[in-house]
Amino acid sequence: MQRFINNPDHLVDEAVRGFVKAHRDLVTLHPDNERVIISRSAPVQGRVGIVTGGGSGHEPAFMGYVGHNMVDAVAVGELFSSPTAKSFYDAIKAADGGNGVCVLYGNYAGDNMNVKMAARMAAKDGIQVRTVVANDDVCSAPAAEREKRRGVAGEILMWKVGGAKAATGASLEAVQATAQKALDATRSVGVGLAPCTLPANGKPNFEIAPGTMEVGIGHHGEPGMEVVGLKAADAVADDMLDIVLTEQNLDAGDTVAVLVSGLGATPINELYILYDRIATRLETMSVEIIQPLVGNYFTSLEMMGATLTVMKLDDELRGLLATEANSPGLRVMP
């Protein structure tokens, strides 16, 4: 295993320490919990707090989206494992400015359980907690069972919208409703070309035969919709776009946010090749792309592959995406 590791058991602690040192202008470590990172802008009295959390190995997600007008506090889990309920609880307390906290996270069993416990603990402290559970990954369950779908890179757009909405001074109910609206307008799909290796294990966590690709793969290598022969980049982009657009009902004149994220090891120029095709297709449909994002925004260690996320925008979402933001993983200039 060709990796920069000291001890797999300390990997997350060391990465968090390095992250907090590298971004000390924007974030700080929770004084009593080394798995909670807090924005230096948080909490703001009277403003709704935004919290997220999830397993490590997806950097810059989740910790990279803590910052000004973004996420206020993040709970950090082990590699590909949920943070503890205590960490979510500490993040909620740190983000609370007296007006409640909205936890915007992904639909995984451990996260669901631990956020629920944390919300109960926070309620005892008098902190109101609302949640939005991201389930943007189209291939992880049929449309009729959308509540079973996983949350993937669409979470980044949900955090951007939620953070910007909270910054307007909106109520907890309004922040939750807008984040939910953002999520409801968002669909994602992943295509995997090669697996990743968890250092404690030392072996690839699944197999993708050379010359094939896994359409609909999850952020931890969860099985996709189908394994097919590896196609040319344009055909892959077409497949991805067809999948995310199935439930989007786009018309000429609509505007969308588009995020193409690498899964870790795919060269960045190939992400732009995918984007070139996606942009051309949307242009042909007379759909306008606002603030596209192309790069390694939500990874899976050194997995090869990419995800496509499309969010259909209304005036409110468009405005909130354009709000100034400053986090290590996403900066929107004023």
The Cβ of residue 183 has, within 10 Å, a number of other Cβ atoms equal to: 23
Examine residue 172 and tell whether it contacts a second copy (CB under 8 A).
Answer: no
Examine residue 203 and tell whether it contacts a second copy (CB under 8 A).
Answer: no
Q: What is the rounded distance in angstroms from the CA atom of residue 87 to the CA atom of residue 255?
A: 37
Shortest Å distance, C-beta 123 to a second copy:
33
Kindly determine how many residues on this chain lie close enough to bind a second copy according to the rule CB under 8 A: 63
Examine residue 284 and tell whether it contacts a second copy (CB under 8 A).
Answer: no
Known catalytic membership, residue 220: yes
Stretch that binds a second copy, among 162-170, 220-228, 292-300, 307-315 (CB under 8 A): 292-300
Q: Which position among 23, 30, 68, 220 bears the catalytic label?
A: 220
Per CB under 8 A, which of residues 141..170 are in contact with a second copy? Answer: none
DSSP label of 147: G
Using a 10 angstrom Cβ sphere, with 0-12 exposed, 13-18 middle and 19 or more buried, the burial of residue 109 is exposed
Shortest Å distance, C-beta 52 to a second copy:
17
Examine residue 115 and tell whether it contacts a second copy (CB under 8 A).
Answer: no
Shortest Å distance, C-beta 302 to a second copy:
5
Which one of residues 134, 194, 217, 308 is an interface residue with a second copy (CB under 8 A)?
194
Examine residue 22 and tell whether it contacts a second copy (CB under 8 A).
Answer: yes
Q: What is the rounded distance in angstroms from the CA atom of residue 136 to the CA atom of residue 153?
A: 8
Shortest Å distance, C-beta 164 to a second copy:
16
Q: Which of 331, 323, 3, 44 is nearest to 165 (CA)?
A: 323
Examine residue 229 and tell whether it contacts a second copy (CB under 8 A).
Answer: no
Shortest Å distance, C-beta 2 to a second copy:
4
DSSP bridge pairs for 200? none
Indicate the Cα dihedral angle 189, 12, 324, 174, nearest 10°: 70
Shortest Å distance, C-beta 232 to a second copy:
5
Determine if the peptide bond prior to 62 is cis (ω within 30°). Answer: yes
Closer CB to a second copy, 57 or 151, in the complex: 57
Q: Which of 152, 156, 306 is nearest to 240 (CA)?
A: 306
Examine residue 288 and tell whether it contacts a second copy (CB under 8 A).
Answer: no
Residue type, 52: T
Shortest Å distance, C-beta 274 to a second copy:
6
Which one of residues 29, 233, 250, 285 is an interface residue with a second copy (CB under 8 A)?
233
Q: In what order do the strands lie in the sheet with 186-194?
A: 226-229, 212-215, 186-194, 304-313, 255-262, 288-295
Q: Which of 111, 103, 31 is nearest to 72 (CA)?
A: 103
Q: Which of 97, 83, 93, 104 is nearest to 41 (CA)?
A: 97
Q: What is the rounded distance in angstroms from the CA atom of residue 326 to the CA atom of residue 290?
A: 18
Q: What is the rounded distance in angstroms from the CA atom of residue 83 to the CA atom of residue 118?
A: 11
Structure tokens that stand for 59 in this block: 């950097």
Closer CB to a second copy, 100 or 221, in the complex: 221
Q: Which position among 23, 30, 58, 219 bears the catalytic label?
A: 58
Known catalytic membership, residue 68: no
Examine residue 214 and tell whether it contacts a second copy (CB under 8 A).
Answer: no
Q: Which of 275, 271, 295 is nearest to 283 (CA)?
A: 275
Examine residue 9 and tell whether it contacts a second copy (CB under 8 A).
Answer: no
Examine residue 34 and tell whether it contacts a second copy (CB under 8 A).
Answer: no
Closer CB to a second copy, 2 or 249, in the complex: 2
Which one of residues 36, 73, 193, 308 is an interface residue with a second copy (CB under 8 A)?
193
Footprint on this chain of a second copy (rule: CB under 8 A): 1-7, 11-12, 14-19, 21-22, 25, 56-57, 59-60, 193-194, 196, 208, 210, 213, 230, 232-234, 236, 264-277, 279, 291-296, 299, 301-302, 304, 306, 326, 331, 333-334
Catalytic site positions? 58, 220
